[in-house]
Amino acid sequence: MGIFKNQFSEWTKFENLFQRQEIPAKTILLNEDEKSKKAFFIEKGCLRLCFNNNGKDITFQFFFENEFVSSIESFLGDQLSMFTIESIEPSIIHSITKKDFQFILENSEIIKTQVEEFTFQRLVLYQKLFLSRIKHNPERRYAELMKTNPEIILRVPQHYIASFLGITSVSLSRIRNRQ
């Protein structure tokens, strides 16, 4: 299979536990308020995390190639998911069940440590996003996004970027025109 790159070499021992899927854009992998049965590794494509806020679709995270994504509170905590996972582009993903994921954690200290580090990095990222929303205006948030994640600007539709930044598409167009 060979889906895992060098930084995930330990994972190759467990590739047989993952199920490969090719999915079109706008495929829902998990709905908000459902229990997650799977986690996903992205071989190719882009996924977003979003939720419904009084009928308004809010995007709050993007994931690309060689990243894992799941609703951790649901997948590992057996709670209802707080968000939806949806593909933005046609994608190739590899899914794993909770049982198989637990098997990997029990049989590889290296992977268990990687998962802990990944979880910590995700927590730090969410703190930065939260503080940026409070401290910075939309123009500054857009500039930070261009600096830290230019891939999002190149690959994600403008309305999702606007939602991610907490602004309207019209406001984003104005900011882009001033750049």
pTM of the model: 0.90
Q: Which residues, 6 or more positions from 158, have their beta carbon under 8 angstroms from its beta carbon?
A: 169, 172, 173
- pLDDT tens for residues 18-36? 999 999 999 999 999 999 9
What is 4-27 written as a DSSP string?
A: --GGGGGGGGGGGG-EEEEE-TT-
Strands (E), 78-137: 84-87, 91-97
Domains of the chain: 6-108 (2.60.120.10)
pLDDT tens-digit map of 94-129: 999 999 999 999 999 999 999 999 889 988 988 988
